[in-house]
Amino acid sequence: AEQKKELEMTVRYYISSADLTAEKFATAIRNHWHVENKLHWRLDVVMNEDDCKIRRGNAAELFSGIRHIAINILTNDKVFKAGLRRKMRKAAMDRNYLASVLTGSGLS
């Protein structure tokens, strides 16, 4: 049997000094969240960030920063044309590729 989903409404308030119409303001907010969600999706799906068990001190925050850096480096690599998971696997198994990624020689 199919269950009916309850309608849920969330109210959010934003403060801005920008002189925008309501439509342009809504577009700016949606664009911001699109970028945020895209980044967090990559962290969750590719890096399994939600499964991270690091809890001590500020280690979780530090590792999150390292994951962001890794995603940016691998995204900018143009030598090996593949998804992030395949690039991570290749970097783990191929020292030459890892060196090219870390030195930035694969950016052209």
DSSP annotation of 89 reads H
Per the structure block, which two tokens stand in for 48?
């399994």
Give the amino acid at 73. I
Q: What percent of the chain has pLDDT over 90?
A: 34
pLDDT at res. 107: 64
Q: What is the pLDDT of residues 47-88, one digit of tens each?
A: 888 788 888 888 888 988 898 899 989 989 988 999 999 999
In the 8-state DSSP scheme, what is residue 49?
G
pLDDT > 80? residue 108? no
Mean pLDDT of 28-35: 82
Q: What H or E segment, with its residue span, contains residue 75?
A: helix 59-76
State the pLDDT at residue 1. 64
The two three-digit tokens of residue 101, written as one number:
């990624």
Is the sign of the CA dihedral 27, 28, 30, 34 positive or negative? positive
Q: CA-CA-CA-CA torsion for 79, 82, 87, 90, nearest 10 degrees?
A: -80
